Amino acid sequence: MTQFLREMSPEDVQKILGRALLEPGFRKQLLADVPGTLAVLGFKASPAALAFFAKLGDQPFGDAADDIESFISANPLPNTWF
């Protein structure tokens, strides 16, 4: 069976970050396997998006979530994440 992955929207990114912040088990899964977790959720993502989610594991999650505004300012979602 072929699975069709859809591109991530800014709202999808927010939902994933919110879920990861609120659900420790999901956060652990996401940080352990970013591409696999996003694929299970039905998303494909650009290398920049994968790198952003992977970076979350390198710092306290709350700090990483705070960094999203500066990341988005430097890398507008419509061009970078799709």
Q: What is the pLDDT of residue 1?
A: 41
**Per-residue tokens: 82:** 């799709």
Report which of residues 66 and 13 the model is more confident about: 13
Q: Which amino acid is at 18?
A: G
Question: pLDDT digit string (tens) for 6-32?
Answer: 888 878 888 898 888 888 899 889 989
Q: What is the mean pLDDT of the chain?
A: 76
Q: What is the pLDDT of residue 2?
A: 46
30-52 mean pLDDT: 87
**Per-residue tokens: 25:** 């088990």
